[in-house]
Structure 1
Amino acid sequence: MRPPPSKAEVLVVGGGMAGLCAAISAQKAGATVRILEASPRHMRGGNLRHARNIRIPHDGISSYSPGIYPVEEFARELTEVSRGDGDAALIDMLASRAADLGEWLADQGVVFQTKHIPFSRRTAFFLGGGKAATNALYARIEALGIAVSYETPWDIDTLCELPSAAVVLCCGGDQADARQRFINRGTPFNVGAPMEGLIRAGAAVAGVSGAVHLVAVDARSPRHDGGIVTRIDGMQFGMMVDAQGRRFADETAIVGSRRYSIWGQTIAALPVPSATLVLDAGGMAAMPRLAFEPIRAANLGEMAALIEVDFAALSCSARQSGRVRKAPFFAYPVVSGLTFSCHGLRVDTRARVKMGDGSVSKNLFAAGAIMAPAVLHIGYLSGTALTISAVFGRIAGEEAARHALG
């Protein structure tokens, strides 16, 4: 761990979307700011690096988002996915403050895709993906003269000693904690130490400990940081079998965007939480392009040996389902990959950390994944994680600067 940084009026812990927005907002409000980032420079940006799009409400058609997506509709969807367990005041704040988010991000240098974009009236796509958005925001940080300390992780005991008037926690949840049993699709630096330390110290808890959002990923993916490219799709073109070679689900039951999370949860619930997508020649021809090459076999007997399942069970599954018929055969090993955890801190509408006794911290703020469960509880709404990060990052930065400057 590096030595404590020099004094700044506002210290931002974490250099992803939430932290970058917080730092920019605090600096523009007149405070001196420093970012403490756990990762080395080449891995900066948190999970923003792996993002493609961000959910933004808007009252009219724009160059990067067709159609209309009213603030009221966004707020209603947030309430629905949180099943009424999300903080209503935070939901309203998020929906209303997200309305100018596209323009604000563009002013900071983020470029949105305006040509050949997937139809989505709810989300805007980053030109060049999340890595380009990360680089744009860091360029803005550098232009504003905001200092960044890389490879500087902090726990709650050290945070209490930091030389600053206000601290903004934007260091994510605990999805990279070594105790998690799933492949972590995102940054390996979100280990949850500040969050867990604050909870032990009496901070109010949001969400449910142990609850996570999962999707199906290739079992050959790296333990951390594989991102969206490791996701497995195309189950409807083949047959899903468990560790014994038995078919365990209807591959065509869910084909909308919810299929990713449903498969992730379904596989995690298996007695042995792993599966294999098996395809025949026709199924393979229909498959989308995936990151890893498929396992290939001339016949089902050879395939059973390669994927280490019982040949009789695999053959029976193929015969009964009628979904795998014509050689050659192909397979992808599948496990559950963790996108985010659903456990975090409660905050008020000024992004101040709430305590379990009902009080509110005066100089400790939080934004992003560390407080997202206060909005979504254990729910999921695509593109919203970055919206929460950007909106509450801006709020936290503004409020931290206001406190620091008196």
Structure 2
Amino acid sequence: MFDVLIIGGGNAALCAALMAREQGASVLLLESAPREWRGGNSQHTRNLRCMHDAPQDVLIETYPEEEYWQDLLKVTGGLTDEKLARLTIRASATCRDWMRSHGVHFQAPISGTLHVARTNAFFMGGGKALVNAYYRSAEKLGISIRYNAAVDALDIDNDGRFLAARIGTERIEARSCVLASGGFESNREWLREAWGQINGEWVADNFLIRGTRFNMGVLLKFMRDAGADMIGDPSQSHCVAIDARAPLYDGGICTRIDCVSLGVMLNKNAQRFYDEGEDFWPKRYAIWGRLVALQPGQIGYSVIDSKAIGRFMPPVFPGTKANTLHELGLLLGLDPVAFVHTIEEYNAACRVGTFDHGILDDCHTEGLTPAKTHWAQPIDQAPFYAYALRPGITFTYLGLKVDERATVHFDGKPSANLFVAGEMMAGNVLGKGYTAGVGMAIGTAFGRIAGTEAANAAGFSRQKKNNQEKVRNGDA
């Protein structure tokens, strides 16, 4: 029997496994994906949002706790547990040295249109390199790893104590367990249930999945049905408007289109439906998937002109290009008259001051609904470009309610040996909305907490380990 069982194979699961092993516990990690697809959504990430009160290695200037908290409060609209959010924020300030000790490398600060050189630490080689580094460290430390190991049920006693995990007829016992197997974003039926229908059509049928195809929410649903305390709205998620030509699964970050704030966004009726210049793109990119999901046919069109070229991260695929607005509307399959009218109405409303995409500038619209509050410039310089966008689900926010020890609860009572980390509990901090890098901050913070607590529940702690070493060395 292993001391600690980790169910999941992404960042949170790996952090938990490594921390439990560092405590001296024997650890088995079960990853539902095959080895080549290991890592869950973490393989598609690229950075970690970090609090810091002074310049630190790869982070410039400062990003204090209160500013981080206010950024999170703003994007969630207050749907966040402040205690757990601040725990995450503070943990983000001190985790990088530990990450480096397990082979993760960070790249030099970046600048430009992403505006995150101050707030986010980027992984050298992206999330795939991070995941691979953690797996190498896990193997070196003697953590046992099984792939293609999809757990479908747990044995839990009446007091909420974990007894064993089940893979079909196989039963795997352990002294404690960490659940970190992700949300349900790849489960189309559950997405349909969560989002319902508009005009007789299932909204979720037009969703693309930015991340792994293996997050089916099997254990999340099992825990819900077993009476675990839940938190979050099943329709809330990290949902980004991505290139409509993206693959159904695993498109990752490269499918994102980052020019929305430089132009206008239209629905299939050629109408604008939200303020494209509300705030900096890293704080607003994750609202656009949900906004597009609520539009007819779950599709939107980001329209820019030549002035925007070079001011945003170039997408993988070129946009639709035309020399006139009328032609562009036709190429997009929209009513060209309505399309041109909307653009001309927007152009007439623009009040251009000093354009600066690096700040919340004074370029705005007047007398237009919805307004564009920053970076409003007429779309009048040919050639013109457009990108069709669909909702891209990264991970869902429905999860298990936890405390600061990452403990699973049943009717308000904490389990003695069952813990949770990552997407399965992110809804405690993210009731809605998103800001770049906070998902990895949650997974890292609570993965490390859950691993430590699981080792403690199995009878291991750093103090106990130190005492054992003193005995062996004749010092006690």
TM normalised by structure 1 equals 0.89
Question: Does residue 1:60 correspond to 2:54, yes or no?
Answer: yes
- How far 1:37 sits from its partner (Å)? 0.7
In structure 2, distance between residues paired with 1:99 and 1:324 = 42
Task: Identify which of 119, 122, 127 aligns with 1:122.
Answer: 119
In 2, the alpha carbon distance for the partners of 1:258 and 1:125 equals: 17
Give the number of aligned pairs: 399
TM superposition shift of 1:289: 0.9
1:195 is matched with which residue? 220
Indicate the SS of the match to 2:181: coil
1:333 aligned residue: 388
Q: Which amino acid aligns with 2:138?
A: I
Q: Where do 1:393-404 residues align within 5 Å?
A: 393-404=447-458
Q: Out of 196-205 and 394-403, give the one that drifted further.
A: 394-403
Residues 166 and 249 of structure 1, relative CA distance in 2, 3 Å threshold: closer
Alpha-carbon contact 1:79-1:91 (below 8 Å) kept: no
Q: Which amino acid aligns with 1:294?
A: G
Q: In the aligned structure 2, how far is the partner of 1:110 from the partner of 1:53?
A: 11
The DSSP-based 3-state class of the residue aligned with 1:209 is coil
RMSD over equivalenced CA pairs, Å:
2.6
Which position in structure 1 is the counterpart of 2:42?
Answer: 48
Distance 1:273 1:197 in 2: 30
- Equivalent in 131, 134, 147 of residue 137 of structure 1: 134
For the residues of structure 1 that align with 2:422 and 2:42, how far apart are their CA atoms?
Answer: 11
Question: What amino acid is the match of 1:401?
Answer: A
Match in the other structure for 1:4: none
- Deviations along 1:75-134, one digit per CA (max 9) or x if unpaired, are 565556555543344234334433321111111111111355665333211112212211
1:170 aligns with 2:180: yes
| Deviation string, structure 1 residues 44-96 (Cα, Å, up to 9, x no partner) | 11222122211222343221112233445545655565555433442343344
Distance 1:383 1:96 in 2: 14
Give the match's secondary structure for 2:173: coil
Q: CA deviation at 1:373?
A: 1.0
Partner of 2:415: 361
Establish whether residue 149 from structure 1 lines up as the match of residue 146 from structure 2: yes
Secondary structure of 1:63's counterpart equals: coil
Q: Does 1:216 align with 2:246?
A: no
Provide closer, same or farther for how the CA distance between residues 330 and 49 of structure 1 changes in structure 2, counting only shifts above 3 A: same
Cα distance per residue 1:296-345 (max 9 Å; x no partner): 34555554443222232223334433445455443211122223222100
Asked if 2 retains the 8 angstrom alpha-carbon contact of 1:10 and 1:26, the reply is: yes
User: Bigger CA drift: 83-92 or 394-403?
Assistant: 83-92
What amino acid is aligned across from residue 351 of structure 1 in structure 2? A
Instruction: State the one-letter code of the partner of 2:423.
Output: A
Point out where structure 1 has 5 or more consecutive residues left out of the alignment.
1-6
Decide whether aligned partners of structure 1 residues 343 and 246 sit closer, same or farther in structure 2, where only a CA change above 3 A counts.
same
How is 1:5-404 mapped onto 2 (pairs within 5 angstroms)?
7-71=1-65, 73-74=67-68, 78=72, 82-114=76-108, 116=110, 120-157=117-154, 159=165, 161-179=171-189, 180=191, 181=204, 182-249=207-274, 251-284=276-309, 288-297=313-322, 299-300=324-325, 302-322=327-347, 323-325=378-380, 327-355=382-410, 357-404=411-458
Give the 3 Å change call, closer, same or farther, for CA 245–153 of structure 1 in structure 2. same
Structure-2 change in CA distance of 1:220 and 1:168 (3 Å): same
Q: TM-score, normalised by structure 2?
A: 0.76
State the distance in 1 between where 2:456 and 2:173 align. 17
Inter-CA distance 115–404: structure 2 relative to 1 (3 Å threshold): same
Consecutive unaligned residues in structure 2, runs of 5 or more: 156-164, 192-203, 348-377, 461-476
The structure-2 alpha-carbon separation of the partners of 1:250 and 1:67, relative to structure 1 and needing over 3 Å to count, comes to closer
Residue 238 of structure 2 contacts residue 286 of structure 2 at CA under 8 Å; is this kept in 1?
A: yes
